[in-house]
């Protein structure tokens, strides 16, 4: 079966957003060009790590005078995107592995998302591995300004979840929270 590549080069929009209420949110990485869009499911931790590593990559690009690229330190106002995900949100796949890179030829950040691997014969999942030829891939190329806006929005979306308990640090649900007692009490 041929590989399905959801490719977006200079997309109109690329965001991380959620569906559901805090504590029961599903995170999506969504890209759109015109009427064509693709949405893949991420774990909250994957979204947070993607934003962190993308911010680090932007810092490396800024620090390297050889790139000739100026990365905005702050998100340009015209690139701010606080809108909800485009509807309908139709999941292409659940993300297992993300890759992040820089294409100096086009001066674009490259985000690749690969599906969660199928269980091996022993029933275990091979996390972090990428099939030589996965069935699908989401491939997004964006300029540095869009990448800066992506980092800001993703961090806001991740932080918008349930507040942390000031005593134990665990999330506090809307119906309350009971702290677990320390083991030594």
Whether residue 14 has pLDDT greater than 80: yes
3-state secondary structure of 167: coil
Residues 151-172: b if buried by 16+ CB within 10 A, e if exposed: bbbbbebbeeebeeeeeeeeeb
127 versus 147: which is more confidently predicted?
A: 147
125 strand-pairing partners:
none
Give yes or no for residue 185 having a pLDDT over 80.
Answer: no
State mean pLDDT over 37-58. Answer: 97
What residues form DSSP beta bridges with 29? Answer: 16, 40
Please give the C-alpha separations between residue 126 and each of 49, 129, 131, 178, in angstroms, as whole numbers.
19, 6, 10, 35
pLDDT number for residue 124:
63
pLDDT confidence of 67, banded at 50, 70, 90? confident
Residue-level pLDDT at 163: 79
Non-local (6+) Cβ contacts of 180 within 8 A are 168, 170
| Rounded Cα gap, residues 127 and 88, in angstroms | 29
Least confident range from 1-5, 75-79, 149-153: namely: 1-5
Which of 46-50, 90-94, 172-176 shows the lowest per-residue confidence on average (mean pLDDT)? 172-176
d(CA 1, CA 172): 46
CA separation for the pair 67, 151 (Å, rounded)? 20
Task: Tell me if 58 sits within 8 A of 151, measured CB to CB.
Answer: yes
DSSP element (H, E) containing 40: strand 36-42
Report yes or no: 30 and 86 within 8 Å, Cβ to Cβ.
yes
pLDDT at residue 58, as a whole number: 97
Q: Percent of the chain, pLDDT > 90?
A: 68
Give this prediction's pTM.
Answer: 0.85
């Amino acid at each position: 079966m041929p590989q399905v590549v959801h490719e977006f080069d200079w997309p109109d929009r690329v965001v991380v957003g959620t569906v559901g209420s805090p504590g029961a949110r599903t995170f999506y990485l969504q890209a759109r060009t015109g009427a064509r869009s693709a949405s893949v499911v991420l774990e909250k931790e994957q979204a947070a790590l993607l934003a962190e590593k993308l911010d680090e990559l932007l810092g490396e690009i800024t620090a390297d005078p050889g790139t000739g690229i100026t990365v905005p330190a702050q998100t340009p106002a015209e690139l701010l995107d606080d809108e909800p995900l485009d509807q309908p949100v139709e999941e292409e796949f659940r993300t297992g592995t993300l890759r992040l890179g820089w294409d100096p030829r086009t001066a674009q950040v490259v985000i690749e998302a690969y599906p969660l691997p199928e269980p091996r014969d022993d029933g275990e999942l091979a996390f972090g591995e990428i099939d030589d030829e996965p069935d699908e891939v989401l491939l997004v190329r964006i300029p540095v300004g869009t990448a800066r806006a992506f980092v800001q929005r993703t961090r806001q979306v991740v932080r918008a979840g349930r507040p942390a308990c000031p005593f134990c640090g665990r999330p506090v649900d809307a119906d309350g929270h009971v702290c677990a007692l320390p083991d030594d009490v």
